[in-house]
Structure 1
Amino acid sequence: MHRILPVRTKGLGGRERFVLALATTLALLAFSCSDGSAAQTSPLTITTRTGDHVFHVEEALTKQTRERGLMHRETMADDHGMIFRFDRSRPVTMWMKNTPLSLDMIFVKADGEIAGIARKAQPFSTDIIASPEPVRFVIELKGGVAGSIDAKAGDHVSNRLIDEP
């Protein structure tokens, strides 16, 4: 059985009550401002000449999640990343604004073929990083990871978002 424990305010001075009320208000405000949608994750495999390399990627499927991307992330495991899905194949531009991590951006066609890779993008840069041709997906991995698995244009990416019709 769950019980809610009462908060004892008797004996608290005016300042302590104010701090408690402020903390409660801020917590409720933070909760209500959240979009409530924790990013869904899924496995993603990049097949290169060195083999299959599996990553766990967050899915950026909405305009809001694509705009936020990996901004403000200070750490990320080498086997994690994010996949951005667009409504159709098109020229895509990215940037590193508010992103403290160096990232590899892998531009992927609708059929899963890698069209190109922007390696070790500079943190916080507002320079535009453009896809080499129209693509449906962009995968962001920690900077240097694409090189460490020897990924290159023409290699194949598999993920539930890419593989579904």
Structure 2
Amino acid sequence: MTPLRPLLFAVLLLSGCASASGPWVEVGGQRYTVEIADDEAERARGLMFREEMAPDHGMLFIHDELEPVAYWMKNTKIPLDILYFDNERKLVSKQVDVPPCTLGDRCPNYPSEAPARYVLELNAGQAAKLKLQDGAELKLSPAIPPAR
């Protein structure tokens, strides 16, 4: 084997590992692999129709600007914690242990108490487990596109 072949193999192996890790966020010292919802269609669908979500996974919603937001659980089958973050990615509000809703358009809204730019949905109970308080910082992986 020529000396370049092991080096090429190592580069290919490492680049494959980096891309396989996907986007993640950290909050309260815990890392979560996330799906990104950064356009209107993705934000509208959210976690609808999911039967379950892995304990270390979530969905990150990125809004176009800092604004008052409210989420609902229409067609969502798993209980969630909904965490609202501002432009500086500081926790400004949370809705915890939000139950699934099968009432269609009659499902209640769960608003943020302050304008938000980022919204993180995790399995219900995570906010309590992490003892999250207002001001907690949301760290984003390099794989997450910057807010538009």
Compared CA separation, residues 162 and 139, structure 1 to 2 (3 A): farther
| Displacement of 1:121 | 0.5
1:19-78 CA deviation, whole Å, 9 max, x = no partner? xxxxxxxxxxxxxxxxxxxxxx5110003xxxx110001000111110000000011111
| Displacement of 1:164 | 6.7
AA matched with 1:74: E
For structure 2, list consecutive stretches of 5 or more residues without a partner in the other structure.
Answer: 1-21
The RMSD of aligned alpha carbons is 1.7
Alignment match, 2:36 = 59
Alignment match, 2:117 = 136
Of structures 1 and 2, the one scoring higher in RCO (CA 8 A, sep 6+) is 2
2:84–2:116 Cα contact (<8 Å) kept: yes
1:106–1:140 Cα contact (<8 Å) kept: yes
Alignment match, 1:109 = 86
Distance in 1 separating the partners of 2:109 and 2:99: 11
In the alignment, does 2:60 pair up with 1:83? yes
TM-score scaled to structure 1, two decimals? 0.69
- The alignment of Structure 1 onto Structure 2 pairs a total of residues equal to 121
1:114–1:153 Cα contact (<8 Å) kept: yes
In the alignment, does 2:25 pair up with 1:44? yes
AA matched with 2:87: A
1:149 aligns with one of 102, 117, 130: 130
Distance in 2 separating the partners of 1:71 and 1:127: 15
AA matched with 2:131: D
Compared CA separation, residues 163 and 155, structure 1 to 2 (3 A): farther
Distance in 1 separating the partners of 2:126 and 2:98: 12
1:111–1:162 Cα contact (<8 Å) kept: no
AA matched with 1:141: L
**Identical aligned residues as a percent:** 31
Alignment match, 2:108 = 127
| Partner secondary structure for residue 67 of structure 1 | helix
2:63–2:147 Cα contact (<8 Å) kept: no
Alignment match, 2:8 = none
* Greater Cα radius of gyration, structure 1 or 2: 1
Compared CA separation, residues 92 and 151, structure 1 to 2 (3 A): same
AA matched with 2:125: G
Shifted more, 76-85 versus 153-162: the winner is 153-162
